[in-house]
Structure 1
């Protein structure tokens, strides 16, 4: 049995020791970072009481208890668990547990999204964007920030990417698209059900604009319209959730992969641009 279990089930403790044991169990994260004196102060216990408690659960003293307790706590926090993508934490979870759960949500989402990658589809998608002179990214609500992040990365290597913040302006841009200008589009839409995105998609289809769709692997209207698509982790509920954790992480990951592959196609050229041209616009004072 681990030390937490010994504290919980020990039956030979005095009332004072029980109070101390309960304090430790109820404040495990804080206790993990405390010294002997700090624990005594906050738990209203004496140092001798702490040592007696440690010995009653089979340890030599507080020093050994602290080492084993911290090891057990971090082992428990780092143990992979099945995280509910839509409700990754509960009302009574500690802040440290929430941090651990969100970390695991990231891992699960990225692992699941990576499993959808097909080397041929990825290569085709990267080539489509790489060979384009103009890239228009279409997105609404939470995907706007993800699109802007991609725009920023691409512009950092001298590539033009357009992101319009107003849905109606996106429709106008789609209508003004011209497939003779090496112009391509990226649509970010987890469900493919947003009315604005549907309208934009139909316009792009009519204008015969080559389009990459980044969306859920579930049945999606957009994948029926366009040849190029990359799926993301599809466990997120559209309405019943705390926030759009998984879809945001997955979409950001896919765009980061695309950017990285494009960067890698002209690695030396892009590195030189980053170091010489783009950095001239960065006025932050940093040490070399």
Structure 2
């Protein structure tokens, strides 16, 4: 009873904070002019980021970053819209030499879990935490000794129970009674950026040097006449 009471009070505290002036499901109305819609979406995104930051457990984040850094392969599981959002994470990680694959076809999720090497790790993105196939995927990962990280809602879902590490998403949107996934998308993107930045920071000088050297060679013909975009020679002597 004590544990239930503590969990209930924490959830009540969470639900009563942030999003006091905007509805995550219906953030604008048909009568709102375009500029008002733009302003309301800006507010919504800011609230989602603040919300997600408050949900971060520093210990879990630390271990998640270490897990990603040590993995020979990172398999990111995300179906539907989530399969699109994680592409930027894959792109960023590949730029620092981390091997990342995105598995977003439901028919391939279980097959991929069975074929992952023991040195890999899994990153599962599921807002509901109840996508049926993930129960089987996580069971296979556990059986094969492959560690898993889940990005999911604040509830005690199937995914959160089975994953080794759980990072919580802003949990304000209903499953389908909403205009769009503005809030959830912002939360997922933010956490993935934090994970990438955390891995980058572990090898900061090495990754920064390599990234700039490669980019300067590959993008030699790229330029801009806009002053803030112009490259300087500052990193020529970077060591």
Interval of TM-score (by shorter of Structure 1 and Structure 2): 0.7 to 0.9
Q: Which residue of 2 aligns with 1:189?
A: 126
Deviation at 1:284, TM superposition (A): 5.4
Q: Which residue of 1 aligns with 2:48?
A: 109
Quick one: distance in 1 between partners of 2:154 and 2:85? 19
Q: Give ranges in structure 2 of 5+ residues lacking alignment.
A: 1-18, 225-230, 232-239
Point out 4+ residue stretches in structure 1 off by more than 3 angstroms: 278-284
Deviation at 1:187, TM superposition (A): 0.2
Deviation at 1:250, TM superposition (A): 0.3
- Structure 1 or 2, whichever has the larger Rg, is 1
Paired positions, count: 207
Q: Give ranges in structure 1 of 5+ residues lacking alignment.
A: 1-79
Matches within 5 A, 1:113-128: 113-128=52-67
Quick one: distance in 2 between partners of 1:201 and 1:283? 44
Q: Which has the higher contact order (CA 8 A, sep 6+)?
A: 2
Q: Which residue of 2 aligns with 1:82?
A: 21
Deviation at 1:220, TM superposition (A): 1.2
**1:135 and 2:82 equivalent?**
no
- TM-score normalized by the length of structure 1: 0.68
Deviation at 1:279, TM superposition (A): 4.3
91, 95, 98: which is aligned to 2:34?
A: 95
133, 153, 164: which is aligned to 1:227?
A: 164
227, 245, 261: which is aligned to 2:182?
A: 245
Q: C-alpha offsets along residues 174-210 of structure 1, whole Å, 9 cap, x if unaligned?
A: 111232xx21000000111222333322322222210
Deviation at 1:149, TM superposition (A): 0.8
CA RMSD of superposed structures (Å) = 1.7
Could you tell which deviates more after superposition, 132-141 or 168-177?
A: 168-177
Instruction: Return closer, same or farther for 1:281/1:194 CA change in 2, 3 Å cut-off.
Output: farther
Instruction: Return closer, same or farther for 1:283/1:171 CA change in 2, 3 Å cut-off.
Output: farther
- TM-score normalized by the length of structure 2: 0.82
Quick one: distance in 2 between partners of 1:104 and 1:284? 38
Q: C-alpha offsets along residues 143-177 of structure 1, whole Å, 9 cap, x if unaligned?
A: 11121110000011111111134222232111112
Q: Which residue of 1 aligns with 2:88?
A: 149
